[in-house]
Amino acid sequence: MTQISFEVFPPRTPEAQARLQQTLEALAPLNPRFVSVTCGAGGSAADATFGAIQSLTAGSYAPAAGHLTCVGRSRAQSDAEALRYWEAGVRHMVILRGDAPAGQERFAPYPDGYRSAVELVAAVRAMRPFEISVAAYPEPHPESRSPLHDLRVLAHKAEAGASRAITQFCFDSDAIVNLRDRMAGAGIPLQVVPGILLASDFAAMTRMAGRCGATVPGWLAQRFAGIDNDAERRSRVAADIAASQVEHLRREGFDAFHFYTLNQAELAHAVCGPLAFAPAEARSAA
């Protein structure tokens, strides 16, 4: 049976809060194993993330997973944020190093902050017995030193206490399969969960891909060519692309998928509706 999870982003306005509430309500019938909420670097962004987590847990829509990065926080602030999640009943964290803030070309540790996801995973796991997911890159991260170095980082994340690696979205399914096989060959005991992007705006998709180093293949551009002003058709194309990728990866043995929803429940239903899901009690126990 297939396990699914979703990622949403926190609202910044009352109108966005209402839309997020509608998104969470719409995703709940799909019985996700968890829903994660992305975060920013401290301040109001962190408060918005925590508020979205509270909405998720208060509504009992799905188990919640908080995001935590090394960006914009000292070690003490990161520790306090992790404990705040635990006290709110959150038992699953998605831990990332995080991208460089706007205006910086490369990531630099915050003063007295954690220097890497490996450090942050180890610290959070030592504080409380969180379930921890981390990031993996089927295509090299823009700052990658080498594929071998990337494997070593994933091994260190596992040693630090992570149990699951969610991939950056990648339209080359074979690259995801290759990553899983290389990790298995290296003895890295992380469950590899493909991250699937649900996006019907090709221009926005291209911008996101550029930031994370994901390749936008020519066939993808062709699928969206000439339909910029046809939102319904763009949604159908986006759903078909995501569903086809999921089916390809299922044939390759993957049985868990994480969907980057961009807060679009309609696309999530179009893609996930036909899938066979694991029972909710099995997901909560996994």
Q: Which domains does the chain have, with CATH numbers?
A: 3-285 (3.20.20.220)
Where is average pLDDT lowest: 2-16, 102-116, 157-171?
Answer: 102-116
Structure tokens at 183: 């990790």
The DSSP letter of residue 83 is H
What pLDDT digit, counting tens, does each position of 215-236 carry? Answer: 999 999 999 999 999 999 999 9
Q: How confident is the model at residue 253 (pLDDT cuts 50, 70, 90)?
A: very high
**Element of type H or E holding 64:** strand 64-69
What pLDDT digit, counting tens, does each position of 145-190 carry? Answer: 888 999 999 999 999 999 999 999 999 999 999 999 999 999 999 9
Q: How confident is the model at residue 103 (pLDDT cuts 50, 70, 90)?
A: low
- The 10 Å CB-count burial string (b at 16+, else e) for 125-135 is beeeebbbbbb
What pLDDT digit, counting tens, does each position of 22-80 carry? Answer: 899 999 999 999 999 998 544 445 677 888 888 787 767 789 999 999 988 899 999 99
Structure tokens at 184: 């298995």
Give the N- to C-terminal CA distance of the chain in Å, as an integer.
12
pLDDT number for residue 231: 94
Higher pLDDT: 42 or 100? It is 100
- What residue has token string 């180890």? 122
Distance of CA 140 to the CA centre of its chain: 17
Mean pLDDT across 229-249: 95
Q: Do the beta carbons of residue 92 and residue 131 sit within 8 Å?
A: yes
What pLDDT digit, counting tens, does each position of 34-48 carry? Answer: 999 998 544 445 677
Calculate the alpha carbon distances from 68 to 49, 126, 146, 216, 239 in Å: 10, 15, 25, 28, 29
Annotation says 7 is catalytic: yes
- Phi, psi of 152, deg, nearest 5: -65, -40
Q: How confident is the model at residue 123 (pLDDT cuts 50, 70, 90)?
A: very high
pLDDT number for residue 278: 44
pLDDT at 280 over 60: no
Question: Which residue in 7, 81, 119, 131 is the catalytic one?
Answer: 7
- Phi, psi of 217, deg, nearest 5: -70, 155
Looking at residue 246, its amino acid is V
pLDDT at 282 over 70: no
Computed on alpha carbons and rounded to an integer, the radius of gyration of the chain in Å comes to 18
- What residue has token string 């996101």? 208
Q: Do the beta carbons of residue 267 and residue 201 sit within 8 Å?
A: no
Residue 251: strand, helix, or coil: helix
pLDDT number for residue 101: 67
- The 10 Å CB-count burial string (b at 16+, else e) for 196-210 is bbbbbbbeebeebbe
Q: Which of 139, 263, 245 is nearest to 200 (CA)?
A: 263
Q: How confident is the model at residue 283 (pLDDT cuts 50, 70, 90)?
A: very low
Q: Is 0.75 surpassed by the pTM of this model? A: yes
**Element of type H or E holding 66:** strand 64-69
pLDDT number for residue 61: 79
Q: Do the beta carbons of residue 46 and residue 81 sit within 8 Å?
A: yes
- What residue has token string 């339909």? 227
Share of the chain above pLDDT 70, in %: 91
Distance of CA 241 to the CA centre of its chain: 18
> What does the DSSP assignment read for 68-101?
EESTT--HHHHHHHHHHHHHTT--EEEEE--PPP
